[in-house]
Amino acid sequence: MTSHHHVTVERDVHFPEPADGQQWAVGAVILDHHGRAFAQRRSPDRRLFPDCWDIVGGHVEPGETLLDTLVREVDEETGWTVRHIHRLLGITTWTGDDAHGLRHEADYLIEVDGDLARPTLEWTKHTTYDWFGPEDLPRLTENRAPDETLIHGLIAKALRGD
């Protein structure tokens, strides 16, 4: 397990504890010093949400807490280090078309340390990245079904600060 002594968490931030048999995932909205949100484009050959913009995140592995997963996924997908968890943006339950059934996803607004101009993407899973301000939000819906508004909604919420 990774140690989290370097991660500070706001007092009112909640990390659900997965019940046995539940599938959980976490997501991170990362803002830069201009207040723009980081998103990466999933590869076209991904089974779930191919060629769509996505936030950093992934599945909670057995024995991990949601915080463990957040720290691990941010490191794996960007090379950055989680420094501060500002708030829980929301918890969503959804079903993917990848045979894993019902998921619970907790999404957080976080701050990271590292070179924000040079994320180390997992190039087998993501083809590019960008920073999104309020005027860029419509691009987040590219290649998504009309009802797939989670990522757009999370980033919009984080940018609005509500």
pLDDT in tens, 112-161: 999 999 999 999 999 999 999 999 999 999 999 888 899 999 999 999 98
pLDDT at residue 102 above 90? no
**Residue 29 resides in a domain:** yes
**Residue 2 resides in a domain:** no
> Between 6 and 54, whose confidence is greater?
54
What strands lie across the sheet with 53-54, from one edge to the other?
53-54, 37-42, 126-132
CATH number of 50's domain: 3.90.79.10
Task: Note the pLDDT tens digit of each residue in 12-48.
Answer: 999 999 988 899 999 999 999 999 999 999 999 998 8
**DSSP conformation letters of the chain:** ----TT-EE-TT---PPPPTT-EEEEEEEEB-TTSPEEEEEEPTT-SSSTT-EE-EEEEPPTT--HHHHHHHHHHHHHS-EEEEEEEEEEEEEEE-SSS--EEEEEEEEEEEES-TT-----TTTEEEEEEE-GGGGGGGGTT--TT--HHHHHHHHHHHT-
Q: Structural domain tally of the chain?
A: 1
Instruction: Please return the burial class of 92, using the count of CB atoms within 10 Å of its CB with bins 0-12, 13-18 and 19+.
Output: middle
**Residue 134 resides in a domain:** yes
**Residue 80 resides in a domain:** yes
**Residue 1 resides in a domain:** no
How far from 76 is each of 7, 70, 116, 119, 125, CA to CA, in Å? 17, 10, 14, 10, 11
β-bridge mates for residue 129, sequence order: 40
**Residue 28 resides in a domain:** yes
**Residue 3 resides in a domain:** no
Range of the domain at 64: 8-160
**Residue 115 resides in a domain:** yes
pTM of the model: 0.91
CA atoms within 13 A on the CB side of 68: 13
